[in-house]
Amino acid sequence: MNSFSCFDVRELLAYSDECLFAPTMTTTKELWENALVELELSISKPNFNTWFKDTHIVRVEDGTVSLGVPSQFARDWLSAKFHKDILHSLRTLSESVRTVEYVISRGPKRTGEEGRVIPPPPTELPLESVHQKSNLNPRFTFETFVVGPFNELAHAAAQAVVRKPGIAYNPLLVYGPTGLGKTHLIQAIGNHFRVSAPERKVYYVTSEKFSMDYVSSLQAGKVQSFKEKYRQYDLLIMDDVQFLAGRDKIKEEFFHLFNYLHDSNKQLVFSSDQHPNVIQNLEDRLKSRFSAGMIVSVTPPDHQSRLAIIRTKAAAHNFYLTDEVLEYLATTIEGNVRELEGALNTLMIQFEMRGQPLTVNDAKTLLRGAGGTTKKAVSVQEVVKTIANFYGVEEGSIYEKTRRKEVVRPRQVIMFLLREDFKISFPTIGEKLGGRDHTTVIHSCDKIKNDIRGDSVLSNEIHQIRLMLK
Amino acid sequence: MKFETQLETLQAASLSVGRFSERKANLPVLGCILLTTEGNKLVLRATNLECGVEVVIPAKIINEGIVAVPAATLSGFLGNGRGKTVSAQLSGEVFKIETERASASIKTLSHEDFPILPRVSAERSFKVKAADIVRAIRSVAYCASLSAIKPELQSVLLYGDAGKLITVATDSFRLAEKTVPLRSTGTVPQMLLPARNAAELMRILEGASGDAEFYYNDNQLSIQHNSTYYTSRLLDGAFPNYRQILPKSFSTEAVVLREDMGSALKSLSIFADKFAQVVLSIDPSKKALLLSSRNPDVGEQISTVKAAIEGAQVSVSFNGRYLADSLQAISGDSVRLHSNGPGKAMLIKDASDDSFQYLAMPMNR
């Protein structure tokens, strides 16, 4: 008999055994493969291919080999006809084998799936669950939203919207830097609405998805059905509207949709990473429409809120942290909530692996570098360059001794930011910016600080510049 | 081995057993019928390793023996035989068989390799009328999925509930459920009988009267009915929890004559597009069911079927074949349609009999 004759069977085995069990699997797998080579010699090819197909060793325990076979036919036949041969070949390979028993099992691949008790019902029949309908993530609810001074206004506005949809604040726009729970908040509105008014239609969409929908409806020549689809909703939630900027056709479509829904008193909720007024390439008509409702911002959480957030998140995972570690996390990770979550996850995995409580030192080593990511080292030249570009003045003029009005303001902003954000000393700033006296620098910083309060244009500009410097 | 028996009985037995032989198997002996003498009985067995069957017929046994005869040859020869009796004997490796007008010598195979038919202990069992199980399987089996992506849907689900045996099959586009009375007490757990084997079981029991006994364990289901024993493997896997998707309330209900709707669907199929789309509207103001199909290459047709209607006007499109399939499982003369509006599944029932229900998904336009 040539060596190819059992090829198909062994290949099947190799297939079905892959990567599922602990290291012992490879040895039992090898054991059975070697036994098959031997069995093949003593059994006719048709018999071998019929009866040994899809067989595998399920486990070896106390000298008993449990052989998985595909059906009762195979079990009865193997134990009646080939038991001796099987036992013999296994024994010659491994002396510890005493007996062989046969169990009906569909192979490791399928047993792996048996964990699921009830598979989801046929997808086509129940067609759409509520979740798919609204595109909302049920995880995001008000219950899991941590409220602190940094977001309480946004939260209150959201609550008002939920109480009086279409009337209270329409549209509601939440803006703020990434990772501060904008998506969570606006989806929570949707989820709450879904429960309180199940007969009304809610839809959550990112502006990206909205654009893609529009483009594909254009390609398919079904713009009308696209319009109908979006106009049917009682509450439309759109995430990251800043991405709409610069896309003329889509902006126009959005504009019409906005008007339609707004006129029929349907609630609109948006999120953006900037105040709409500073989003570039956004037309005034859209800006003014956004401003017609309520615009609220979320800011990075303060120290107390960070503590509260970490506590809530850890409690949700039944994970306990000492106060010191909590304090350490809240102090070092100043950035957004997502970073806090990431750090917490790192600690949790470590805790699970070690099984003992973590100390502050552990946390320090584990999270090395995590806190630092929030502040990037930026050279003074770079700051100057960015800000000069922003205001459209020549970089060189910043360093010159000129007092032209268009240069003075940018120069003051540069000084202010270098001081506030990069903590450079007044004399150094003066020296770097063309050898100015430190009192000049102090005056500039104070001036900008004062102006920001009354001048929303300036404060927006600074916000934008800060984003650019990140 | 030597025996004599009635030609007609052997003919029938070899035909029904022969269906289970498999000519193309790796193991040539699986293409055979195994004939065994047992006392004054002759036992015929065949299997394709998925399921197997055994039929016992009375015979005059002259010499005990056992032989594996190619099924196609044997039943082909017997099928054309004439006369009342048939006699057969084995000499060496040749099986000699003689009817009134013809005699044949058939080359046999070694019976050593013929597998044992699995036996299931009688501990766990239930009883159903043979005619009922045939009806139950016929009512649902065509709904089983043909695709191997979800093996659990390539099967007919059997389970007991409150003195009834319930059979269900679905391919996730439509679902059929049929309930028949159990003739025994006790519970019957969920079992997944491969749809192909269910169809074979149906054929074996077709036209049979009396009760069929079912024995089962975790992997195997066996049925004993008079002198016939049938066994099939069961699929392991979990059938979807289909009850949760059966709608409980409806916005529109219509009762129509089964024949009217059947003939309308038949003629609509001529005009249906390649997706067999049929638009069904229930119109309370006209007291009628309007069915229409349209194929740009052929033309279009609208049929009106008189109906008794309760509820609101509704219009939904379906795969016409799915609608027609449901009617063949309904024996009463009227059919009840329950709809919840466009985009929702429609429930179809026999108006006079609650034991059958059929759920069809609409088509996306």
Higher pLDDT, B249 or A11: B249
Q: Do B2-113 and B246-360 agree at the fold level?
A: yes
- Are the C-beta atoms of residues A148 and A302 closer than 8 Å to each other? yes
**Min Cα separation B60/chain A (Å):** 30
- Looking at domain B2-113, its CATH architecture is Roll (3.10)
Q: How many CB pairs under 8 A join A and B?
A: 87
Cβ <8 Å between B116 and A80: yes
* Domain range list for chain A: 7-111, 133-297, 303-374, 380-469
Cβ <8 Å between B218 and A104: yes
B233: nearest CB among A71, A114, A120? A71
Per-residue model confidence (pLDDT) at position A16: 41
Q: What is the CA radius of gyration of chain A?
A: 33
Cβ <8 Å between A76 and B242: no
Higher pLDDT, B292 or A352: B292
Could you say which residues from 79 to 138 on chain B have a Cβ atom under 8 Å away from some Cβ of chain A? Answer: 113, 115-118
Per-residue model confidence (pLDDT) at position A132: 60
CB contacts of A106 in chain B (<8 Å) are: 236
Cβ <8 Å between A104 and B219: yes
pLDDT at B79 over 70: yes
The label of the residue with tokens 């595998």 reads A56
Which chain B residue is nearest to residue A51, measuring alpha carbons?
B27
Cβ <8 Å between B49 and A114: no
Cβ of A121 under 8 Å from any chain B Cβ? yes
Query: Closest by alpha carbon to B264, among B299, B232, B230, B293?
Result: B293
Cβ <8 Å between A121 and B240: yes
**Min Cα separation B246/chain A (Å):** 9
Q: Options 3.10.150.10, 2.30.40.10, 3.40.50.150, 3.40.50.170; which CATH number does B125-244 get?
A: 3.10.150.10
Cβ <8 Å between B345 and A71: no
**Min Cα separation B52/chain A (Å):** 9
Cβ of B68 under 8 Å from any chain A Cβ? no
List all residues 6 or more positions away from B203 whose beta carbon is below 8 Å from its beta carbon: B16, B19
B245: nearest CB among A73, A117, A125? A125
ipTM computed for the complex? 0.72
Cβ <8 Å between B49 and A71: yes
A7-111 in CATH: which number?
3.30.300.180
pLDDT at B339 over 80: yes
- Alpha carbons A411 and A388: distance in angstroms, whole number: 8
- Are the C-beta atoms of residues A291 and A270 closer than 8 Å to each other? no
Rounded mean pLDDT, B319-343: 89
- Looking at domain A303-374, its CATH architecture is Orthogonal Bundle (1.10)
Higher pLDDT, A325 or B47: B47
Per-residue model confidence (pLDDT) at position A126: 46
- Are the C-beta atoms of residues B1 and B66 closer than 8 Å to each other? yes
CB contacts of A77 in chain B (<8 Å) are: 115-116
pLDDT digits (tens, 9 = 90+) for B210-225: 899 999 988 899 999 9
CB contacts of A117 in chain B (<8 Å) are: 238
Q: Residue A62: helix, strand or coil by DSSP?
A: coil
Which chain A residue is nearest to residue B150, measuring alpha carbons?
A122
CB contacts of B218 in chain A (<8 Å) are: 104
Q: Do β-strands B334-339 and B346-350 pair in parallel, antiparallel, or remain unpaired?
A: antiparallel
Q: Options 1.25.40.10, 3.10.150.10, 2.40.50.140, 3.50.50.60; which CATH number does B246-360 get?
A: 3.10.150.10
Burial B3-19 (b: 16+ CB within 10 A, else e): bbbbbebbbebbbbbbb
Per-residue model confidence (pLDDT) at position A115: 33
> Domain A133-297 is in which class?
alpha beta
pLDDT at B226 over 70: yes
* Domain range list for chain B: 2-113, 125-244, 246-360
- pTM of the complete model: 0.53
A73: nearest CB among B25, B49, B218? B49
Cβ <8 Å between B240 and A118: yes
Q: What is the mean pLDDT of each run of 10 residues along chain A (470 residues)?
A: 39 41 59 85 83 83 84 84 86 82 67 35 40 74 81 87 82 84 87 82 87 86 84 88 82 87 88 83 81 83 80 77 79 76 80 74 71 57 85 84 84 87 84 86 88 80 80
A380-469 in CATH: which number?
1.10.1750.10
A120, A125, A130, A134: CA torsion to nearest 10: 110
Per-residue model confidence (pLDDT) at position A376: 54
